[in-house]
């Protein structure tokens, strides 16, 4: 059997590449940013597919980025991989005071005793050190996840409903406001749309945004991440519509001209078959 490699091996080959390979040596924190973003998305795809082999490979690619940035920082004299590891350990100890009282780290046999009486929700802990709600949230965070995180943070200081009933009623309220706008200006939206500079467009966009935000809050209170729920819904819609397309080919139906009644009947057929 081939000997398993270690993190030290990974670090050693990265040091060698930074020394002897022109491309690797030329990279900077800035030049690597697009690759980190791409690798994170590829890892997410592998996780979504439940593909262990791909997940292992993509985790390696993400690790490559971590080591790359740590080595570049080391060369600048800023920090090194040990500092990165130390930051992680310190953060985990700080986040779990009920497991590591007074900052004590676990021994080799894990003998630090847990004290659940000191357990405190993470967002409540973090709120003591933040100066504003959005402090530390990345600018490029996807909108659904950003809404979820903002709501979590607000809930950490007590701005939250006690259960899902409040968010559920809020969704109903926001949906009614959207319906009111559509009832008033629906003929405009349906016929030719409204340019972005039109006040009616801004009003509808605002109300739809409020509705989406309320749905995110309902997801959060139900213990469901909105991005994962939407991923599942996207997958279900794609699977069913592609089944409609295959069915249409079998029956000689052109989906582009079939019309809604025909497609809707095929949708029901596909849904029933599932």
Residue 204 and residue 243 in one domain: no
The pLDDT of residue 251: 95
Tokens representing 136? Answer: 């530390």
Check if the beta carbon of residue 241 is closer than 8 Å to that of residue 268: no
Residue 96 and residue 16 in one domain: yes
The pLDDT of residue 11: 95
> How far is the C-alpha of 178 from the C-alpha of 173, rounded, in Å?
9
Burial of 100 (0-12, 13-18, 19+ CB in 10 A): buried
Residue 243 and residue 191 in one domain: no
Position 145 in a domain: no
Residue 114 and residue 66 in one domain: yes
The pLDDT of residue 95: 82
The pLDDT of residue 87: 95
- CA distance from start to end of the chain: 44
**What is the residue whose two structure tokens read 């003591």?**
128
234 sits in which H/E element: helix 226-251
What angle in degrees, to the nearest 10, is found between the helix axes of 199-221 and 143-156? Answer: 60
When divided into structural domains, the chain yields a total of 3
The pLDDT of residue 7: 93
Residue 91 and residue 107 in one domain: yes
Residue 13 and residue 102 in one domain: yes
**End position of a domain, from candidates 203, 224, 245:** 224
Residue 251 and residue 168 in one domain: no
- 201-222 burial, b at 16+ Cβ within 10 Å, e below that, comes to beebeebbebbbbbbbbbbbbe
What are the DSSP calls for 18-63, one per residue? HHH-HHHHH--HHHHHHHHHHHHHHHHHHHHHT-HHHHHHHHHHHH
Position 101 in a domain: yes
Residue 265 structural domain: 228-273
The pLDDT of residue 1: 61
Residue 114 and residue 13 in one domain: yes
Residue 16 and residue 106 in one domain: yes
The pLDDT of residue 185: 76
> How far is the C-alpha of 209 from the C-alpha of 205, rounded, in Å?
6
Position 150 in a domain: no
pTM over 0.95: no
Residues of the chain with pLDDT under 50: none
Residue 166 and residue 113 in one domain: no
Position 1 in a domain: no
Residue 25 and residue 89 in one domain: yes
């Amino acid at each position: 059997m081939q000997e398993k490699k270690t993190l030290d091996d990974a670090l050693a080959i990265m040091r060698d590449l930074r020394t002897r390979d022109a491309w690797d040596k030329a990279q900077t924190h800035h030049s690597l940013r697009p690759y980190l973003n791409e690798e994170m998305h590829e890892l997410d795809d592998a996780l979504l597919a439940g593909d262990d082999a791909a997940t292992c490979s993509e985790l390696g690619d993400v690790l490559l980025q971590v080591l790359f940035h740590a080595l570049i920082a080391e060369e600048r004299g800023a920090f090194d991989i040990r500092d990165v590891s130390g930051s992680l350990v310190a953060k985990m100890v700080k986040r779990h005071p009920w497991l590591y009282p007074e900052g004590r780290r676990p021994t080799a046999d894990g003998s630090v005793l847990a004290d659940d009486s000191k357990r405190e929700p993470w967002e409540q802990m973090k709120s003591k050190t933040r100066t504003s709600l959005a402090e530390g949230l990345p600018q490029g965070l996807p909108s659904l996840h950003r809404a979820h995180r903002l709501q979590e943070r607000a809930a950490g200081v007590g701005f939250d409903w006690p259960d899902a009933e409040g968010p559920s009623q809020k969704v109903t309220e926001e949906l009614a406001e959207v319906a009111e706008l559509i009832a008033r200006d629906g003929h405009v939206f349906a016929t030719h749309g409204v340019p972005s500079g039109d006040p009616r467009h801004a009003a509808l966009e605002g109300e739809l945004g409020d509705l989406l935000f309320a749905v995110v809050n309902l997801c959060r209170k139900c213990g469901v991440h909105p991005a994962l729920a939407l991923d599942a819904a996207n997958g279900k819609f794609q699977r069913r519509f592609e089944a409609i397309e295959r069915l249409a080919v079998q029956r000689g139906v052109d989906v582009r001209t079939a019309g809604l009644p025909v497609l809707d009947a095929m949708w029901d057929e596909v849904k029933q078959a599932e």
